[in-house]
Amino acid sequence: MEKTPSYFVTREAPARISAMSRETKLIVVVRDPVTRVISDYTQTLSKRPDIPSFESLTFKNRTTGLIDTSWSAIQIGIYAKHLDNWLQYFPMDQILFVSGERLISDPAGELGRVQDFLGLKRIITDKHFYFNETKGFPCLKKAEGSSKPHCLGKTKGRTHPNINPEVVQRLRDFYRPFNMKFYQMTGRFFGWDD
Ligand SMILES: Nc1ncnc2c1ncn2[C@@H]1O[C@H](COP(=O)(O)OS(=O)(=O)O)[C@@H](OP(=O)(O)O)[C@H]1O
């Protein structure tokens, strides 16, 4: 097993992985691309506090509302486009998309889908998780090889900055058609659009 978030958006990755093994099963966690871009910005900001504002990175032209699609944080959320590239090399039934939102609200349910996809017995169930009020996320009751609970680290689940609602709405409008295409391609409605 190998995990790297950037594979999904790297042009050469599908050809290379397919050359290694055409049987590879691929699992991708996707979340609302608007929340994703804000999360991405939050992560960069935590490493480089002097970066430009979210708004100035989002727009090529603030007056016309033209989104800067050359900003990688925006690019990554165009899931339908990245999936098109993977479908040149892998059939849809070898790719599982996990809902990032459901992974938080129902981790056992989402992991049930992962286990089924991998042809594994459903070993991980509700019993393995509890909701940690301090962390604000589900955590494992027992970490692997330990009897102690385990939550993900401080870099997962950071507080996002407040973004101007108009900017958020503009991003929603930008992503909507790509999301619709993605729902069609995957056969799953992720519920990101309002
Ligand atoms: N159980 C649990 N605990 C903590 N965090 C959780 C959990 N499940 C999902 N998430 C979401 O994971 C997001 C961070 O994952 P990333 O893939 O962005 O991390 S990384 O870029 O690979 O470091 C992180 O995004 P942010 O909230 O933006 O920090 C979380 O929303």
Token digits of residue 55: 């708004």
User: How much is the pLDDT for 193?
Assistant: 86
The residue to mutate among 35, 152, 156, having the most atoms of ligand 1 within 8 angstroms of its beta carbon, is 156
pLDDT tens digits in sequence order for the chain, 194 residues long: 888 989 999 999 999 999 999 999 999 999 999 999 999 999 999 999 999 999 999 999 999 999 999 999 999 999 999 999 999 999 999 999 999 999 999 999 999 999 999 999 999 999 999 999 999 999 999 988 899 999 999 999 999 999 999 999 999 999 999 999 999 999 999 999 86
Report CA(156)–ligand 1 centroid distance (Å). Answer: 4
Q: How far apart are CA 95 and CA 97, in angstroms?
A: 7
> Is the ipTM value over 0.90, yes or no?
yes
Phi and psi for 101 in degrees, rounded to 5? -70, -45
User: How much is the pLDDT for 136?
Assistant: 95
User: How much is the pLDDT for 100?
Assistant: 98
User: How much is the pLDDT for 145?
Assistant: 87
User: How much is the pLDDT for 144?
Assistant: 84
User: How much is the pLDDT for 19?
Assistant: 98
Alpha helices in the chain (DSSP H): 13-20, 33-47, 54-58, 72-76, 79-87, 100-105, 107-117, 165-186
- Give the type of residue at 39: S
User: How much is the pLDDT for 84?
Assistant: 98
Ligand 1 pocket, residue 37 CB under 6 Å? no
Q: How far apart are CA 24 and CA 125, in angstroms?
A: 25
Q: Tell which residue, 38, 45, 178, has the closest CA to residue 186.
A: 178
Token digits of residue 130: 């509890």
User: How much is the pLDDT for 40?
Assistant: 98
Q: What angle in degrees, to the nearest 10, is found between the helix axes of 79-87 and 165-186? A: 20
Ligand 1 pocket, residue 39 CB under 6 Å? yes
Report CA(104)–ligand 1 centroid distance (Å). Answer: 9
Report CA(19)–ligand 1 centroid distance (Å). Answer: 31
Would you mind telling me the total number of residues written for the chain in this entry? 194
Q: How far apart are CA 4 and CA 29, in angstroms?
A: 11
On the 0-12 / 13-18 / 19+ scale of CB atoms within 10 A, 9 is middle
Report CA(157)–ligand 1 centroid distance (Å). Answer: 5
How much is the pTM?
0.95
